[in-house]
Chains A and B, each alone.
Chain A
Amino acid sequence: MSENNAGQRRLALVVSLLVAGAALAFVSFGNIGENLVYYWNPTQLVEAGNKSIGATIRLGGVVKDGTVDWQPDEEALAFVVSDGTEEVSVQCSGAPPQMFREGIGVVVEGTMTQGGVFKSSRLMVKHSNEYKAPKEGASVEDLYDTVESL
C-alpha cells in the first residue's frame, strides 16, 4: 500500500470518527433535553403556570395539616403540598409510606395536569438525621438536602 493511500485511509478514519462523535453528542444532548427532571417548590410551580404541564417535576414541600385523604380501597392518596406561600394539590397512586403524616416534608415526582392537580407516581418522605418538624417556608434546597433517595 502506498504512503498516499495509507494517509487517505487515516484521514477517512479520523473524519468518520469525528462524524460518529458529533452524531453521538447530538443524540445525547437531544435525549437529555427530553428527559430532564426539574426540582421545584410550589411557588415555582404555580409561577410557571401552564408551562409546567407535561414536564417531569420533583416537587418539594410540606404536607399541609388536615389535607391528607387516603382511600385504602381505591389505593388513592391525595394531599396538599405547601411551601408557606403557595399550595399545590397532589394525587398519588398507592399507599402512603409508614413515615408519611401531616406536617412532614415530602418530595413527590410526577407531572402537573390541566386541572391544576399534580399527579405523582413516586412519594418520598423527607428524613433527617436529627429529626425536627420542618418549618413552614423551609427552603426547598433544605428539603432536598435531607431526602434519603437513592
Chain B
Amino acid sequence: MIPELGRAAVLLGLAACSVGAVTGMWAGKTGREDVWRWTRWMALAFMISIAVATGLMEYALITHDYSVKYVAEVGSNETPLAFTIVSLWSSLDGSILLWALILAIWAAVFAVKLKDSHPEHAPWALGSILLVGVFFTFLVSGIANPFERVPSPLDNGPGPNPLLQNHILMIVHPPTLYLGYVGMTVPFGMGCAALLSGRMPTSWARAMRRWMLVPWACLTVGIILGGWWSYEVLGWGGYWAWDPVENASFMPWLTATAFIHSSMVMERREHLKGWTITLVMATFLLTLLGTFMTRSGVFNSVHSFTQSPIGPVFLGYLGVMLVVSVLLLAARVDTLSPPTAKLEGPWSRDMAFLGNNLLFAAFTFTVLLGTVYPLLNEVMTDVQISVGEPYFNRMSVPICLGILFLMGVGPALPWGRATFSTLVSRLAVPSGLAVAIAIGCVATGLREWVAILTFALSGFAGAVTLRELTEPGRQRASKLGEPLLSALMQTWRTGHRRAGGYVVHFGVVMIAVAIAASSVYRSETEMTIREGKTKSFMGYDITYTGTERLDEPHRWSRVARFDIDKDGENLGQAEPRLNHYKKMNQSIGTPTVMSGLDEDLYLSLVQVDPEGKMASLSVVVEPLVIWLWAGGGVMLLGCVIAGWPTRRRREDAA
C-alpha cells in the first residue's frame, strides 16, 4: 500500500504546487485578493501533501517495508532505529523528498506570515517559490521517485552507507544544512517579486533581509556541523578539505553573506539594488549548482550517492533558471526606484560595505573556478584532474584577511561622510591592540606570518566589535546615570538587530583565530606501537594496552585501547576503533578526540594486526580547534538575537 499512497500524496502535492505557482503569478499581476487567498491555500495543501508523503516514507523505513524501492536501497533490519529514521537523507531519492518537504514548509510559513502584508509583492514571491517547488516535486514524482514498488521484495536490505551511520551528527547536520540551502529559495522568490513588480521599496528590502537571515543562520550552522562531522568521523583530523561538496555549500553562503551586508546599504541609502538582487539570484543558482554537483555523481564523494539520471535534468533546470534570472534582471533592474542618496566615499561605511561585497564576490569566483575547473576540463579535453587544496588555500588566505580587516574598519566608520581624522581617532585603540598582538606573537617565538597577521587582525576586528557592542550602553549609562549593566541590556534590546550582527562578527573572529591556529600549528604523525609499549608525540605519551572485538547486529568493531599521559599526568584512556560493516565489507574508523581549551589530541586507528599485538595510529595535535565549534555557537546566538521577533509589527504592514 505504501508505494501507491506515497506516490498519490506526492502527485497531490505536485498538483497543489503547480496550481499555486500559476495563481500566485496571476494574483501578482492582477492584485486580486481572492486569487491570492487561493495561492496561500495551495501552498498549505502542498506542504500537507509532502508532509504526508514524508511521513509514509518514514513509516515504511521504520517498519522495514522492502516493497518500497527506497527502503530496499537503504534499509536493513539490523540498523539502529535512530539511523533508520535519518536514512531518509542517506541516499539520493529520499534526500530529494526531504528537499521538497523543506521547500514546502518554507512556502507554507511564508504564505501564513505574509498573509496581510506586502500585497504588491507577496503573491509574486510565493508564486516564484512554488514554481521552484514544482521542479523538485516533479523529480520526486518521476525520476527520483522513492516510492517505486519493488516487484518481488526481499526481507532485508543493505542498510545506509556506513559513513552515514557512524556518528550522531549525521542526525542534525543534513536537515540543518537543507533548511538553509533550500531556504535560499525564499529570498530568491522575493527578489523575483521585486523585479516582476518593478518596485523595490525599503519595507520589502527589509523583509527580504529577514527572510534571508534565518536560512543564512541554518546554512552557517549546517556548514560548521558538516566540518565537525568530518573532524569526528573521517579520521584525518581536519574539518575542511575544499572538497567539491563542501564548496557547494560554501559558495551560496558567501553570496548570501554579501547580500546581508549589501542589503543594509540598500535599506539605508536605496543604493546597490540591482547588485543586491543579483546576489540573491546568484545565491539560489549556486544552491542549484551545488545540488547538481552533490547529487548527480559528477564528483565522487560520500554525498554523491550513485550515478543517477538526475544529473542532466538538474543541469537543464540550472540552465533555464540562469537564463530566466539574467533576463529578468536585464529587463527590470532599471525600473527599481533610483537611489535617494549618493554613495559616500572613501572614508564611509558605504565604501566599507562595497569593499566587503567585492571581496565576497572575488571569494565566490575563486572557489567556483576551482570547483568547476575539473569538470570543464574533462568535458573539453577528456583528461581527469582535480584542483589541489593549495590553490584554495593560497587564494582564500589573502581574501579572508581582507574581510577580517574590513570587519574591523567598517563598523568603526559612520554612514555617510567621514574624514580621515575620524577614522584615525576611532581606529587608534584597535590598531594599537593589533600591533601589540603581533609583537607579542613574535616575542613568544611565532614566525608564521599568516597566523600572526590573522591573530593581529582578529584582535583589531574583535576590539572594534566589542566597542560597537558596548558604546551605546556606556553612553546611555553616563547620560541617564543608569547602572552600566541595565543600560547595556536596554540598548541591546532596542537595537537587537545591530547587537546580533556584532555578536555574529565576534563568532567570526573566534573562528578565524581557531582556523589559523589549528591549520598553521597542526602537527601529525603515524606510529605503530607494540602491545605494552609507549611512544611519544608532542608531549603526549601513548601506551598501547590492548585490543578487543565488540559485536553489534549490523557491525563488529575492533577497539584498541591506549593510555594517554601528558607531563606525567594521566589524561585517561583513548579508544579509537575500526568498525566493520557486515553488508558493505567496509571498515570505517571512529577516531578519538581528546579536546582541551588549548589543543586537541586526535587519535585515529589505521590498523591492528590480526593477533592484536601491534596497532598503527595516526596522531594529530591541533591547537584551539574547540573554539571553531564555539565560534559557530556564538554566530548562531548572534542570529537569534538579531532575528528575535519584536513587537514592532507595523513595519511589516508598511
B301 touches A149 (CB 8 A): yes
- From B300, B607, B609, A147 is in contact (CB under 8 Å) with B300
- B477 beta carbon closer than 8 Å to chain A: no
Q: Could you tell me the distance in whole angstroms from the C-beta of B354 to the nearest C-beta in chain A? A: 10
Chain A residues in 8 Å Cβ range of B300: 144-145, 147-149
Per-residue B-contact encoding for A1-38, CB less than 8 Å = 1, 0 else: 00000000000000001001000110111011011111
Output the nearest chain A residue to B524 by Cβ-Cβ distance: A94
Q: Which bucket holds chain B's interface residue count?
A: 35 or more
CA distance A72 to B614 in the complex (A): 9
Chain A residues in 8 Å Cβ range of B365: 24-25, 28
Chain B residues in 8 Å Cβ range of A36: 385-388
B528 touches A72 (CB 8 A): yes
B587 touches A37 (CB 8 A): no
- A93 beta carbon closer than 8 Å to chain B: yes
B394 touches A31 (CB 8 A): yes
Chain A residues in 8 Å Cβ range of B388: 35-37, 56
Per-residue B-contact encoding for A67-100, CB less than 8 Å = 1, 0 else: 0000011010000000000000000011111111
Q: Could you tell me the distance in whole angstroms from the C-beta of A44 to the nearest C-beta in chain B? A: 10
- A119 beta carbon closer than 8 Å to chain B: no
Q: Could you tell me the distance in whole angstroms from the C-beta of A58 to the nearest C-beta in chain B? A: 8
Q: Which of B601-644 contact A (CB under 8 A)?
A: 605-609, 614, 616, 618
CA distance A32 to B394 in the complex (A): 10
- B241 beta carbon closer than 8 Å to chain A: yes
CA distance A127 to B302 in the complex (A): 12
Chain B residues in 8 Å Cβ range of A34: 390-391
- From A20, A28, A72, A93, B358 is in contact (CB under 8 Å) with A20
- From A97, A127, A145, B606 is in contact (CB under 8 Å) with A97
B587 touches A93 (CB 8 A): no
- B526 beta carbon closer than 8 Å to chain A: yes
A94 touches B616 (CB 8 A): yes
- From A31, A72, A73, B391 is in contact (CB under 8 Å) with A31
Chain A residues in 8 Å Cβ range of B308: none
CA distance A107 to B645 in the complex (A): 52
A150 touches B302 (CB 8 A): yes
Q: Which of B276-284, B366-374, B422-430, B501-509 contacts A (4 or more CB under 8 A)?
A: B366-374
Chain A residues in 8 Å Cβ range of B386: 36-37, 39, 58
Q: Could you tell me the distance in whole angstroms from the C-beta of A52 to the nearest C-beta in chain B? A: 13
Chain A residues in 8 Å Cβ range of B585: 127-128, 131
Q: Could you tell me the distance in whole angstroms from the C-beta of A93 to the nearest C-beta in chain B? A: 7
CA distance A23 to B245 in the complex (A): 27
A150 touches B608 (CB 8 A): no
CA distance A15 to B106 in the complex (A): 41
Q: Could you tell me the distance in whole angstroms from the C-beta of B504 to the nearest C-beta in chain A? A: 27
- From B358, B385, B528, A95 is in contact (CB under 8 Å) with B528
Q: Could you tell me the distance in whole angstroms from the C-beta of B561 to the nearest C-beta in chain A? A: 17
A127 touches B586 (CB 8 A): yes
CA distance A127 to B585 in the complex (A): 8
Output the nearest chain A residue to B241 by Cβ-Cβ distance: A150
Q: Which of A104-150 contact B (CB under 8 A)?
A: 127-129, 131, 141, 144-145, 147-150
Q: Could you tell me the distance in whole angstroms from the C-beta of B91 to the nearest C-beta in chain A? A: 11
Q: Could you tell me the distance in whole angstroms from the C-beta of B470 to the nearest C-beta in chain A? A: 36
A127-B584 contact in complex given A32-B370, A39-B384, A97-B606, C-beta closer than 8 Å: yes
Q: Could you tell me the distance in whole angstroms from the C-beta of B278 to the nearest C-beta in chain A? A: 14
CA distance A144 to B230 in the complex (A): 21
A148-B607 contact in complex given A36-B386, A39-B385, A98-B578, C-beta closer than 8 Å: no
- Cβ-Cβ contact count across A and B, 8 Å cutoff: 107
Chain A residues in 8 Å Cβ range of B324: none
Q: Could you tell me the distance in whole angstroms from the C-beta of A13 to the nearest C-beta in chain B? A: 9
CA distance A149 to B245 in the complex (A): 11
- What is the total number of residues of chain A having a CB less than 8 Å from a CB of chain B? 39
A32 touches B302 (CB 8 A): no
Q: Could you tell me the distance in whole angstroms from the C-beta of B447 to the nearest C-beta in chain A? A: 24
Output the nearest chain B residue to A20 by Cβ-Cβ distance: B358
CA distance A39 to B558 in the complex (A): 33
Chain A residues in 8 Å Cβ range of B243: 150
A24-B362 contact in complex given A31-B394, A95-B528, C-beta closer than 8 Å: yes
Q: Could you tell me the distance in whole angstroms from the C-beta of B293 to the nearest C-beta in chain A? A: 14
Chain A residues in 8 Å Cβ range of B606: 94-98
Chain A residues in 8 Å Cβ range of B301: 149-150
- B480 beta carbon closer than 8 Å to chain A: no
A38 touches B158 (CB 8 A): no
Q: Which of B569-607 contact A (CB under 8 A)?
A: 578, 584-587, 605-607
Chain A residues in 8 Å Cβ range of B526: 75, 93-95
B607 touches A95 (CB 8 A): yes
CA distance A141 to B318 in the complex (A): 27
- B336 beta carbon closer than 8 Å to chain A: no
B390 touches A35 (CB 8 A): yes
- B395 beta carbon closer than 8 Å to chain A: yes
Q: Could you tell me the distance in whole angstroms from the C-beta of A130 to the nearest C-beta in chain B? A: 8
CA distance A127 to B586 in the complex (A): 7
Output the nearest chain A residue to B303 by Cβ-Cβ distance: A150
Chain A residues in 8 Å Cβ range of B369: 28-29, 32
Per-residue B-contact encoding for A48-71, CB less than 8 Å = 1, 0 else: 000000001010000000000000
- From A24, A37, A97, A147, B387 is in contact (CB under 8 Å) with A37
Q: Could you tell me the distance in whole angstroms from the C-beta of A149 to the nearest C-beta in chain B? A: 6
CA distance A20 to B391 in the complex (A): 19
A75, A96, A98, A141, most chain B CB atoms within 10 A: A98
Chain B residues in 8 Å Cβ range of A35: 387-391, 394
Chain A residues in 8 Å Cβ range of B385: 36-39
B390 touches A97 (CB 8 A): no
Chain B residues in 8 Å Cβ range of A24: 362, 365-366
- B435 beta carbon closer than 8 Å to chain A: no
CA distance A95 to B362 in the complex (A): 41
Output the nearest chain B residue to A132 by Cβ-Cβ distance: B585
CA distance A36 to B526 in the complex (A): 26
- B527 beta carbon closer than 8 Å to chain A: yes
A97 touches B587 (CB 8 A): yes
- B163 beta carbon closer than 8 Å to chain A: yes
CA distance A77 to B609 in the complex (A): 14
- From B389, B395, B616, A72 is in contact (CB under 8 Å) with B616
Interface residues of A (CB under 8 A from B): 17, 20, 24-25, 27-29, 31-32, 34-39, 56, 58, 72-73, 75, 93-100, 127-129, 131, 141, 144-145, 147-150
Interface residues of B (CB under 8 A from A): 158, 163, 230, 234, 241, 243, 245, 300-302, 307, 358, 362, 365-366, 369-370, 373, 383-391, 394-395, 526-528, 558, 578, 584-587, 605-609, 614, 616, 618
Q: List 17 A-B contacts (CB under 8 A).
A: A17-B358, A24-B366, A35-B391, A36-B385, A73-B528, A94-B616, A95-B528, A95-B616, A96-B616, A97-B607, A98-B608, A99-B587, A128-B585, A129-B158, A131-B584, A144-B300, A144-B384
A39-B386, A128-B585, A150-B241 given. 15 additional CB < 8 A pairs?
Answer: A27-B395, A28-B395, A32-B369, A36-B386, A36-B388, A37-B388, A72-B609, A72-B614, A72-B616, A94-B606, A98-B558, A98-B587, A98-B608, A129-B584, A131-B585
